[in-house]
Amino acid sequence: MREVTISMDQEAPFHNNVDYCVGTGRMGLALHKEYWEQLALVQKAIGFSYIRGHGLFCDDMAIYQEYKTEDGQLESEYNFTYLDRVVDSYMELGIRPFLELGFMPEKLASGTQTQFYWKGNVTPPRDYEKWCALVQETLRHLLGRYGEEEVLSWPVEVWNEPNLTGFWEHADMEEYFKLYECTSYAIKEVDPRIQVGGPAICGGCDEKWMKGFLSHCQDKGLPLDFISRHHYTTELPKPNGHYGYVELYTSEYAFSTLRDCRKMIDSYAEYKDLPFYITEFNTSYIPNAPIHDTNENAAYLARMLSEIGDFCTGYSYWTFGDVFEEQGVPFTPFHGGFGLVANGCIPKPAFWTFYFYKQLKGKGVYRDEHMVVTQEKDGTVRGVVWNLTRESGCEHWDCKLHIPVEEKRYCCVRQIVDEQVCNPLKVWHDLGEPASLKNEQAELLRAAANPSILTECLVPSSGQLELEIGLGKNSVMYFEIQEAALRSDRGFEYGKY
Amino acid sequence: MREVTISMDQEAPFHNNVDYCVGTGRMGLALHKEYWEQLALVQKAIGFSYIRGHGLFCDDMAIYQEYKTEDGQLESEYNFTYLDRVVDSYMELGIRPFLELGFMPEKLASGTQTQFYWKGNVTPPRDYEKWCALVQETLRHLLGRYGEEEVLSWPVEVWNEPNLTGFWEHADMEEYFKLYECTSYAIKEVDPRIQVGGPAICGGCDEKWMKGFLSHCQDKGLPLDFISRHHYTTELPKPNGHYGYVELYTSEYAFSTLRDCRKMIDSYAEYKDLPFYITEFNTSYIPNAPIHDTNENAAYLARMLSEIGDFCTGYSYWTFGDVFEEQGVPFTPFHGGFGLVANGCIPKPAFWTFYFYKQLKGKGVYRDEHMVVTQEKDGTVRGVVWNLTRESGCEHWDCKLHIPVEEKRYCCVRQIVDEQVCNPLKVWHDLGEPASLKNEQAELLRAAANPSILTECLVPSSGQLELEIGLGKNSVMYFEIQEAALRSDRGFEYGKY
Amino acid sequence: MREVTISMDQEAPFHNNVDYCVGTGRMGLALHKEYWEQLALVQKAIGFSYIRGHGLFCDDMAIYQEYKTEDGQLESEYNFTYLDRVVDSYMELGIRPFLELGFMPEKLASGTQTQFYWKGNVTPPRDYEKWCALVQETLRHLLGRYGEEEVLSWPVEVWNEPNLTGFWEHADMEEYFKLYECTSYAIKEVDPRIQVGGPAICGGCDEKWMKGFLSHCQDKGLPLDFISRHHYTTELPKPNGHYGYVELYTSEYAFSTLRDCRKMIDSYAEYKDLPFYITEFNTSYIPNAPIHDTNENAAYLARMLSEIGDFCTGYSYWTFGDVFEEQGVPFTPFHGGFGLVANGCIPKPAFWTFYFYKQLKGKGVYRDEHMVVTQEKDGTVRGVVWNLTRESGCEHWDCKLHIPVEEKRYCCVRQIVDEQVCNPLKVWHDLGEPASLKNEQAELLRAAANPSILTECLVPSSGQLELEIGLGKNSVMYFEIQEAALRSDRGFEYGKY
Amino acid sequence: MREVTISMDQEAPFHNNVDYCVGTGRMGLALHKEYWEQLALVQKAIGFSYIRGHGLFCDDMAIYQEYKTEDGQLESEYNFTYLDRVVDSYMELGIRPFLELGFMPEKLASGTQTQFYWKGNVTPPRDYEKWCALVQETLRHLLGRYGEEEVLSWPVEVWNEPNLTGFWEHADMEEYFKLYECTSYAIKEVDPRIQVGGPAICGGCDEKWMKGFLSHCQDKGLPLDFISRHHYTTELPKPNGHYGYVELYTSEYAFSTLRDCRKMIDSYAEYKDLPFYITEFNTSYIPNAPIHDTNENAAYLARMLSEIGDFCTGYSYWTFGDVFEEQGVPFTPFHGGFGLVANGCIPKPAFWTFYFYKQLKGKGVYRDEHMVVTQEKDGTVRGVVWNLTRESGCEHWDCKLHIPVEEKRYCCVRQIVDEQVCNPLKVWHDLGEPASLKNEQAELLRAAANPSILTECLVPSSGQLELEIGLGKNSVMYFEIQEAALRSDRGFEYGKY
C-alpha cells in the first residue's frame, strides 16, 4: 500500500478557484423554471460567483428590435424585459453574469448562417455602428438597473469561438479583429472601468489566432483587460443515433496544452500579468456525450481541478445544468448533457467533484496525481482523493496517509462517490432507461445520487494520524479531519444500551 | 446460505396497519415549531392517520378555567385557543387526533399528585359533573369547528394507564370505573356515534384490570366501542445519570403477551369483534433509554411490525419525535428519546423501519421471523428483511430468495439501514457527542441518516428471479422488484462512452 | 336611488361556469418560471379546471422529429420531454389541458406560412398519415403517463381559427374538413372515449363555416363530441406604435351574436344537446390593447360573465397571464396584454372579476344588467355588482337592495375594485411608466392591486336587510352576507377601551 | 386649512431609532410556531435589531438543573437545549437578544413568590455564588456557540422591574443592589467587553430607585454600561371580566416624565453620556387592554415615536406579537394584547406605525405634533402624519404641505391606516367576535389589515409641490415623494384605450 506523509510546514502548489464561474446554455433558457431549479441546487451546494453562456443577443432574448418611422426610416429600439428577468433571477441566486457578447440579432445580421438547433446567427453585423449602439445601450441599461458597483464587476467577452467556422462566418480573423476593436472601444466609452477581453477561442493554443490577437491588440493599443480561451480534452466524437462517443486526452497532455498557452501569453511583456480565463472547459465538447454522466467524468475532473488553477486566473465548467438545446431538446433525462445536474434536478457524479473542491479551504499542504490536501488555520485538514482508473490502472486503489497532529481526539468525515454508491446513470439504466420519469423514479434517482458518508474517530499515535483510504473504480472521495473532543453527557456511555 | 422460495398463490398472514397511529408527547408541545417540523418530516415519509398523546386537559393547554361571579359563585369557562392551534396544525399535516382524555386540570383536581417533569395532575376530578361538562364542551367545540364527518372519526380514550399509581391516584380501579362510566355516558350524550373506549392500561395483560374492566362494562352495559392497552417489551431499566439501560424481551415472549390478551378479550362474547388498539408501544418505556436511538431498535421493531397486526386492530408507536419533556428537557440531541426522529430533524434507524413497512402494499405472500414479502396486483414484489442479531445470532445473515415471475427484465431497488451506513448515533458519537449541534453538524447528521440505495437489473432464469440478500448486524432492508423493460434511446448504449 | 328587492323563492337564470377553463400563450412558454408563478397565483385565487392554448405541436415543444435511417429513409420520432414537463407543472397546479391540436411542426408542414412573432407554421401537413401518427402517439403517451381516468377528461380540439387566412393557409375550408376527418378518426382509434371537437372558428357566427362544418359532420357521420368557437367583442383596432386602440361592442350586441350561434347549432337536431365551448373570449383580440389592463375591462367582463353561461357549456378567458409573445416580447409590464395578471405577478382589475364570480355559490336569485345575486342553502347571500359606465351612463351608480332574512345579526363583507382603489395601471403610470420595475415598485404595484375590503354589521328591519350600494366609475363589487351572531368574550365591549 | 412649508435647509430634531429593539413574551414561548410566524412577519416588514423579554432563567427554559452526586452533594448542571433553539431561530430571523437576566429558577430560589400566570419566581437566589455561575455559564455557552463578535453586541440587563413588589420580593432595593453588584462583576469576569446595565425599573422616574441606583453604582464604582427603565402611559386600568380599560396620559405629560428622567441621569457627571434604554414601552401595561388593538393606539404611538428618541438611546415596544401568557392564554384572537400582530398573524394598526417610521430615512426636515418629515440625499421626501383625535380634537384633520423641489415630475405614494380602511378589530367585531377563527375569517382579517395605498402624479408650481392631506379619526399616514419622469413606450398614451 502506498504511504503518504503530509507535512504541514510546506506549502504545496494548489490554486483553488473552483467557484469562480460556471457555464450555461443560451440565456433565453434561463427563463425556464427547470433551469432555475437546477441552478438553485448548484448554488446552494457550490455557490459559483459568475455564470457565462451564449445567446445574450439572440432573438429569443428579444433585445434588439427595429421599426419604421413615419418617414420610412428604420430605427433601433431595445427590449430589456427578458434580460432583466434573467439577471434578476441570477442575482436572487447570488450569481452574476460573465457577459459574452453574441450572437447576432437576425435584424442586425449581415448574413443568414446560424449555429445550433436554436439557430444563433453567427455573421458579422450588417452595421457596426448599430452593433456598438446595441452593446452600449445594453451595458447602460444594466448599470442603471443593477448599479455601478455590481455591474463593473462583470467581465465582458467579445463573441464566442470566432476561430471556428461554425461560430463566426468563415472564421474570418480580420473581421473578428474589427469586431473586437469597435466593440472594446464602445464598451470603454460607456465606462472605462468595465473589463473587456477576448478572443474566446476554442481548441488548442492556435498560434494563428492567439498570437494574432495579442499582437494585434498590442500593436493597435486596444483595450484588453483579460484573455480568454476554451479547453476541451477529447478527440473528435464518433456519432451514433442521438449520441457521440469520445476518447479522452491524458491529464498530462491536457495540462501541457494549457501550459503552452500560458507561456505564449507570458511571452508578451505587456500581457504577462493579465487575467487569463478558461471561459469553457469540460471533457467532451458535445452535449450528447454519455461520458458526461459517468463517474469517470467525475474522477477525470478531480484531477483537472487539482492543477487547472496553475495556468489561469479562473475557469468555467461547461455547464451547470442540462436545460440546454444546442443539439435539440434531449429525449431522455440522462443523455450525455454537459450539466453537473441532470434534468429532474439529479446531481451527476461531477457535481460532487465540484462540491468537494468547494470545501477545500486554507493553504495547500500536499498535492500529487491522486489527491490534494489543505489545512486551515484552526488545524482542520481536508482533502480530495480520486482513483481515475484509466490513468491509475487500478480497479481498487489504496493509500495510507500520515498526518502530524496534536494529541487530541479527532473525527474524520468521508464522502465517497463511486460507481457503486453514487451512480444515478446506472440506477436509471437499471430502471429501464425511461424517457419520462415518474415522480417516484425521479425521487429515487435523486436519493441515489448522494455520496455515501462515513465517519470515524481517530486518535494519533506518535503524533500522527493514520488515514487508510481505499477507492473503487473511478471513485472520488472527500475527507475532513477535525478535532472532536468527547464530552459525554452525565451517565451516557456510547455503545451501551 | 438459507434459501427461501416465495409462492405467489398462497396468502401469508400479515396485517399491515403501520400507518394507523403514532404517539406524541403532551399536547402543549404540539405548539412548538420543532415539533411541527419533526411531525412534518414523519408525515411526508410515512403519513400516519392518527396521533395520540397525553395532556389534552393539562394546564399548559389552558382549556379549563374558572372565575368568580359577582355573587361569588365559581363558574367554569373554556379556552380553546391552543386546542384549535394544535388541531389546525394536525389537520394541515394530514393527521387527526386519537383523543386521550386527561390529565386533570389543577382547578378541577381533587388532589395534588402529579406525574412527570411537566406535572400532569393525576387525581380524580373534585366534581364529576364539571369534568363531564369539560369533556362535553370540548367535544362540542371540536364538532363545531372541524365538522361531524371529521370528528366522528376520532376515537376517544378515557384516561391513561390508570393501573399505575403514578398515573392515577392509588391506581384505584373503582374510581376509574366511575370515571369511565360518567365520561362514556357524557360523550354519548354529545353524539352517540362518537367511539369511546378504555382502559388504556399499561403492562402485561393484567387479569385484575382488563378482566375487571370488561366485566364491569358488560355487567353495567356501559358504552364501549374499543378496548385499549399498551405494550412495552423490556425489563425495568437500570439508571445511570440522565440515562436508563434496559434488557429487551425476546420477540416471541413479547408476542405471547399480546396473544394472551387477545384471547382474554375474545373470551367475552360481547367484545369478541370489538376493535382493540395498542395505544402505545415501543421497546423501552422510558424517554432516556439509549436503545431507542440504535439500529438494534430498528431491527427489533421490524420483527415486531411483522406480527403485531395479528393481535390488534391498530397500534401506535410511542412516539414520532423527540420534542418531549417527561423526564425534563433533554440535554443532548441523541438522548434515548422515544422518537422516530431526533431533535434537529434527524431520522433515527427506527424511522426507516416504519417507512419501509409503509411501502408494503398488496397481499402478504411470505412471512417468517426474518422477513415479510408482499405482492401487488401489478406484479410488484416488495419486502422488508431484517437481521436482529440478538435473536439470529448472526453478525452477518445471508439468504437467497427465489421469486417466480414472468419472463421479463426487472429492476430491484434495495434500501439498507445498518450500523455502517445509516447510524446517526455513531456519527454523533464520532463528532464528540456535542450537546449543541452546529448547523453543519446537523446537516451532516441528516445526510448520514439516510438508507443506502442500490439497484440491480434482474432477469429470471427458469421462471424465477434469484435475489441474494446479505445483512450486517442489526440491519433492516427494504426491497422492491418491478418490471423494467429496457427502452434505450436511439444510439444509446449503456456502459459505452 | 334604484331599489331592488330580492326574492329568495324564485330562481333567476344564471349559469356560473367561471372556473371551467382559461387560455394561455403557446405551450412552450409554460416552461417559464414567470409563467408558472402567474398561473400559481391564478390557480390559488380562482382555480380553473382546464387550460387551453396554442403551440402543442410547434417546434419549441420539439415533439415531432425526423431522422434518416442508414438506408436513407426519413423516420419520425417523438420527443415528449417538454410536453411532460409542461403537463406535470399543470397537474401540480391542479389544472389540466384542454388540448388544441396545432400548429404544424416545420418538418411536417406542406408550406412555409407562419403566424405570430413566434412563427407557428399554419399550413396543412405534407403527409396526413404522419400527422395522424403524431396525434396518436402524443395521446398514447399522455394516456400512459397520466392514466386513463385523467386523460379521458381532456377535450381535444382540432386546430385553431381555420376560418382566418392567418391561421390556416388560404382559410381553406375543404382542407380543414379533411384535417378534421382524419384527425377525429385517428383520435377515436386511440380511444373512442376521447372527446373530439371543432371547428374553433373565430369571429361572428359565420354561416359558411359553422353551418358548413356541422352539415359536413352530420352528412359524413364524423365523430363530434363538442362544438367550439371564439368570441371577441371589439371592432378592428387602430394601431399606434406598439399598441392598438379598440372600440367595444355593446354587451347586448355581444350577447346577440352568441344567441344566434346557439340557435344555429340547435337547428341541427343531432347537435342540439352537444356541448358548446367558447374556447377563447375577451374584449379585444390583440395582445397589445391597453383596454385589457383597465377597470373598464373588469366591469365589461362582469356583465359578460353574468350571461355568457346562458349560451354555452363552458368558456375560456384568453388569457390567464402576460407571458405571451404573439406580437413579440412586451416592452413594459403593462402593455395591454390579455392576461388576468400582468408581468411581475400583478393582478389586473379583470382578475378580480373572475375571483368574485368564483365566490358565487348556490342558486341564482336575482340577475339584471347590473348585478347577479346567489344564495346558498345555509342562507348566505352573495352578489357581484358592477357599474360599466359606458353602458350605465353613470360616473357614480347607486342602488339599494332589500333582502328578506330571518331575524338575526348579519355581517356583510364587500370587496371593491374601481379606478381609485384597485387600479395598478394608474399606479404604474404615476410612477412614470417604468419599463423595468425595481423590486420595491413591483411590491408597491402588487400591494396596490388588491380590492378594498369593508365590513359592516347588518340587522334586519321588518324581515329585510337593506344594503346600500354606491359604485364609482367602472367599479366591480363583490358582497357576501352571512349570519354573524355576536358572542362577546366575558368583559369585552367593542368600542370601549 | 393648515398650511405647512417645509424648508430643506434646516435640520429638524428627529432621532429615528424605531428598529432598535422590540419586546417579547417570556423566552419559552419563542419555541412556538405561531410565535415564530408572527416574528417573521414583523422582521420582514420592520426588521428590528434586538429582542428583549423575560424568562431566560425560568423553568420552562430548563437551563438550571441540579442533581445529587453519589456522596449526596447537590451539583448544578446547565441545559442549553432550548436556549440554543430559541437563539438559533432569532438569528435565522436576523434579530439578536437584548438579554434580561431573570427570573429565578425554582431550584435556585430563596422563596416561593411568583409572578404571572406562568409563575416566574421573583425571589433572590438562595445562593449568590450559584446564581453567578449560572450567569457566567450561560454567557460562556453563548460566546462559544455564536462567537465573540456576535455576543459582545448583546446588552445584558440585570433583572426586571425590581422596584415593584410583584417582580422582586418586597421590592427590596438593597437586595437588588447586591444582585446587581455580584452579577455585573460576574459578567465582566467572563469578558469585560460585555455591556451590562440596569435597573430596569418601571413607572415614573422614581427618585428613590433611579437616584439610589446611580449613586450606588457611582459610589462603589460598579460596572455600568447603560441605564434602563420602562415607560407606560396610562393610569391604572379598570378591570371587567377578562379585560382592563384604561385612561391615556397626554403625549406632553408622557414626554415630560422622560425628560425629567433624562435630566436626572445627566446630573451625574459620570453617567451623562451613558446609553439610556427604554427597555419597555407601550400605552397600557396590561396584556388585556383593548386599546392595544385600536387605531387610536397607532395614532398615539405615531406621536410617541416622533419624540421618544430625543430622550434615550433606544427603546423597545412591548411587544412584537400576541403569543403571550402573563394573564393566561387569551380566549380570543383580539383581546387587547400588547402585540403589533394579533394571533393568526394579523397586523394591528400599531404595526403600521412602526412600519411607516422604518421607511423614514435621511435627515429630519420638519417635525411638529402632527407629523415628521425627512429627506434623503437623492431628494426623496418621506413623512409620517397622524391625527390623534383625542389631542387634535378633530374627527377629520386637514393640512396642506408646501415642499420646495426641482422642476420635475413626481410621484407621491400614500399609505393610510384609519378606522375605515385598516381596522381589523372592527372587522372581527362585525364578524361576531369569533373566539375561533375559521381559515377564511383569518384570511379576510389579514387582507383587511393592510393600509390603503394611493398614488398621484405631482408637478411643482413656482418651485413647490403642494400636498393636500386629509386624515380621518385616529388616522396615521405615510407618504413618499420621488422623482418619476414619464417615459412612455412608443405609441402608449395613458388614459386612452
∠ CA D201-D202-D208 to the nearest 5 degrees? Answer: 60
Q: Does D490 touch chain A (CB under 8 A)?
A: yes
The yes-or-no verdict on residue B330 having pLDDT over 70 is yes
The yes-or-no verdict on residue B267 having pLDDT over 80 is yes
For chain C, which chains pass the contact test of at least 3 CB pairs under 8 Å?
A: A, B, D
Residues of C labelled catalytic: 161, 280
Task: Pick from A329, A335, A433, A439 the residue to mutate for testing the C interface (most C CBs within 10 Å).
Answer: A329
Q: What is the pLDDT of residue B236?
A: 93
Stretch among A160-174, A199-213, C247-261, C345-359 having the lowest mean pLDDT: A199-213
Residue-by-residue DSSP string for D163-220: TSTTTSGGG-HHHHHHHHHHHHHHHHHH-TTS-EEEEEE-SS--IIIIIHHHHHHHHH
Among D255, D164, D233, D157, smallest CA distance to D200 is for D157
Among candidate residues D100, D157, D169, D280, the one labeled active-site is D280
Alpha-carbon distance of C83 to C81, in angstroms, equals: 6
Q: What is the pLDDT of residue A205?
A: 60
Q: How far is CA C317 from the centre of its chain?
A: 2
Among candidate residues B100, B157, B280, B480, the one labeled active-site is B280
Residue-by-residue DSSP string for A241-294: TTEEE--BPPHHHHHHHHHHHHHHHHTSGGGTTS-EEEEEEES-SSTT-GGGGS
Among C290, C166, C196, smallest CA distance to C239 is for C290
Nearest by CB to C77, from B67, B77, B490: name it.
B490
DSSP label of D84: H
Q: Do D492 and C453 touch (CB under 8 A)?
A: no
SS3 C75: strand
Q: Chain C: nearest CA to B489, how far in angstroms?
A: 10
Alpha-carbon distance of B331 to B117, in angstroms, equals: 14
- Quick one: what percent of chain D has pLDDT higher than 90? 96
For residues D410-432, give the mean pLDDT.
Answer: 97
Q: Does C77 touch chain B (CB under 8 A)?
A: yes
Alpha-carbon distance of C76 to C133, in angstroms, equals: 9
The type of residue at B376 is E
A-B Cβ pairs (cutoff 8 Å, strict) = 139
Residue-by-residue DSSP string for A354-423: HHHHHH--SEEEEEETTEEEEE-TTS-EEEEEEE-HHHH--SSEEEEEEEE--SS-EEEEEEEE-TTTS-
E-strand ranges in A408-463 read: 410-417, 452-458
Residue where the block lists cell 362518537: B194
> Residue C411's beta-bridge partner residues?
C457, C482
Q: Does D426 touch chain C (CB under 8 A)?
A: yes
Q: How far is CA A202 from the centre of its chain?
A: 15
Cell numbers standing for residue D129: 455564588
The yes-or-no verdict on residue D42 having pLDDT over 90 is yes
Q: Do D487 and C435 touch (CB under 8 A)?
A: yes
Q: Chain A: nearest CA to C127, how far in angstroms?
A: 23
Q: How far is CA A101 from the centre of its chain?
A: 18
The yes-or-no verdict on residue B1 having pLDDT over 90 is no
Alpha-carbon distance of A77 to C103, in angstroms, equals: 30
How do residues C319-328 score in pLDDT, each as one tens digit? 999 999 999 9
Q: Does B31 touch chain D (CB under 8 A)?
A: yes
B106 is catalytic: no
Chain B: residue nearest D77 by CA? B331
Residue-by-residue DSSP string for C139-153: HHHHHHHH-HHHHTT
Q: What is the pLDDT of residue A10?
A: 79
For residues C194-210, give the mean pLDDT.
Answer: 88
The type of residue at C468 is E
The yes-or-no verdict on residue A190 having pLDDT over 90 is yes
Decide if B324 contacts B287 (C-beta within 8 A). Answer: yes
Q: What is the pLDDT of residue A204?
A: 64
Q: What is the pLDDT of residue C310?
A: 96
Q: Chain C: nearest CA to B490, how far in angstroms?
A: 10
A-D Cβ pairs (cutoff 8 Å, strict) = 4
Which of C:333-392 have CB within 8 Å of D? 335-336
Q: Do B343 and D81 touch (CB under 8 A)?
A: yes
Q: Which residues in B175-189 are b (16+ Cβ under 10 Å) and which e?
A: bbbebbbbbbebbee
Among B10, B24, B7, smallest CA distance to B338 is for B24
- List of chain B residues whose C-beta atoms are within 8 Å of the C-beta of residue C490: 67, 77
Q: Chain C: nearest CA to B68, how far in angstroms?
A: 12
Q: Does A77 touch chain D (CB under 8 A)?
A: yes
For residues B111-137, give the mean pLDDT.
Answer: 97
Q: Which residues in D401-431 are b (16+ Cβ under 10 Å) and which e?
A: bbbebeeeebbbbbbbbbbebbbbbbbbbbb
Task: Pick from B246, B411, B430, B433 the residue to mutate for testing the A interface (most A CBs within 10 Å).
Answer: B430
How do residues B465-477 score in pLDDT, each as one tens digit? 999 999 999 999 9
Helix axis angle, D173-190 to D128-146, nearest 10°: 40
Q: Do B331 and A489 touch (CB under 8 A)?
A: yes
Decide if D154 contacts D141 (C-beta within 8 A). Answer: no
- Quick one: what percent of chain B has pLDDT higher than 70? 100
SS3 C308: helix
Nearest by CB to B487, from A245, A433, A456: name it.
A433
Q: What is the pLDDT of residue B478?
A: 98
Can you say whether the dihedral through the CA atoms of A65, A69, A72, A76 is positive or negative?
Answer: negative
Nearest by CB to D62, from B33, B80, B329: name it.
B329
SS3 C309: helix
How do residues A343-399 score in pLDDT, each as one tens digit? 999 999 999 999 999 999 999 999 999 999 999 999 999 999 999 999 999 999 999
CA distances from D80 to B442, D56, D134, D146 (A): 16, 11, 11, 13
Please state the ipTM of this predicted complex. Answer: 0.96
B-D Cβ pairs (cutoff 8 Å, strict) = 63
Q: Does C66 touch chain B (CB under 8 A)?
A: no
- Mean pLDDT, chain A, rounded, equals 96
The yes-or-no verdict on residue D113 having pLDDT over 90 is yes
Confidence of residue A418 (pLDDT cuts 50, 70, 90): very high
For residues A15-43, give the mean pLDDT.
Answer: 97
In degrees and rounded to multiples of 5, residue C161 shows phi and psi of 50, 55
Chain B: residue nearest D146 by CA? B438
Task: Pick from D433, D436, D439 the residue to mutate for testing the B interface (most B CBs within 10 Å).
Answer: D436
Q: What is the pLDDT of residue C76?
A: 98
How do residues B437-485 score in pLDDT, each as one tens digit? 999 999 999 999 999 999 999 999 999 999 999 999 999 999 999 999 9
Q: Chain C: nearest CA to D149, how far in angstroms?
A: 32
Q: Does C466 touch chain B (CB under 8 A)?
A: no
Length reported for chain A: 497
The yes-or-no verdict on residue B354 having pLDDT over 70 is yes
- List of chain B residues whose C-beta atoms are within 8 Å of the C-beta of residue C77: 490
Q: What is the pLDDT of residue C57?
A: 98
Q: Chain D: nearest CA to C137, how far in angstroms?
A: 45
E-strand ranges in A128-182 read: 156-158
Q: Do C420 and D289 touch (CB under 8 A)?
A: no
Q: Do D241 and C432 touch (CB under 8 A)?
A: no
Among candidate residues B100, B157, B161, B296, the one labeled active-site is B161
Q: Do A436 and C343 touch (CB under 8 A)?
A: no
Q: Do A241 and B335 touch (CB under 8 A)?
A: no
Alpha-carbon distance of B481 to B379, in angstroms, equals: 9
Q: Do A32 and C33 touch (CB under 8 A)?
A: yes
Q: Chain C: nearest CA to D243, how far in angstroms?
A: 6
- List of chain A residues whose C-beta atoms are within 8 Å of the C-beta of residue C89: 33
Q: Chain B: nearest CA to A444, how far in angstroms?
A: 8
Q: Does C494 touch chain B (CB under 8 A)?
A: no
DSSP label of A98: -
Alpha-carbon distance of B99 to B97, in angstroms, equals: 5
The yes-or-no verdict on residue D10 having pLDDT over 90 is no
Nearest by CB to B486, from A433, A484, A485: name it.
A433
Q: Does A490 touch chain D (CB under 8 A)?
A: yes
SS3 C224: coil
Chain C: residue nearest A88 by CA? C439
For residues B111-132, give the mean pLDDT.
Answer: 97
How do residues C58-81 score in pLDDT, each as one tens digit? 999 999 999 999 899 999 999 999
Cell numbers standing for residue D131: 446564581
Q: What is the pLDDT of residue C205?
A: 60
Q: Does D66 touch chain A (CB under 8 A)?
A: no
Task: Count other C-beta atoms under 10 Å from residue B380's C-beta.
Answer: 15
Q: What is the pLDDT of residue D12?
A: 87
For chain B, which chains pass the contact test of at least 3 CB pairs under 8 Å?
A: A, C, D
SS3 D233: coil
How do residues D215-234 score in pLDDT, each as one tens digit? 999 999 999 999 999 999 99
For chain D, which chains pass the contact test of at least 3 CB pairs under 8 Å?
A: A, B, C
Cell numbers standing for residue A135: 452593446
Q: What is the 3-state secondary structure (H, E, C) of chain B?
A: CEEEECCCCCCCCCCCCCCCEEEECCHHHHHEHHHHHHHHHHHHHCCCCEEEECCCCCHHHCCEEEEECCCCCEEEEECCHHHHHHHHHHHHCCCEECEEECCECHHHECCCCEECCCCEECCCECCHHHHHHHHHHHHHHHHHHHCHHHHCCCCEEECCCCCCCCCCHHHCHHHHHHHHHHHHHHHHHHCCCCCEEEEEECCCCCHHHHHHHHHHHHHHCCCCCEEEEEEECECCCEEECCEEECCECCHHHHHHHHHHHHHHHHCCHHHCCCCEEEEEEECCCCCCCHHHHCHHHHHHHHHHHHHHHHCCCEEEECCCECCCCECECCCCCCCCCCCCEECCCEECHHHHHHHHHHHCCCEEEEEECCEEEEECCCCCEEEEEEECHHHHCCCCEEEEEEEECCCCCEEEEEEEECCCCCCHHHHHHHCCCCCCCCHHHHHHHHHCCCCEEEEEEECCECCEEEEEEEECCCEEEEEEEEECCCCCCCCCCCCCC
How do residues B405-432 score in pLDDT, each as one tens digit? 999 999 999 999 999 999 999 999 999 9
**Where does residue B286 fall: left (phi above 0), alpha (psi -120 to 50 degrees), or beta otherwise?**
beta
Decide if D245 contacts D294 (C-beta within 8 A). Answer: no
D181 is catalytic: no
Decide if C47 contacts C76 (C-beta within 8 A). Answer: no
Cell numbers standing for residue A423: 451512480
Task: Count other C-beta atoms under 10 Å from residue C44's C-beta.
Answer: 10
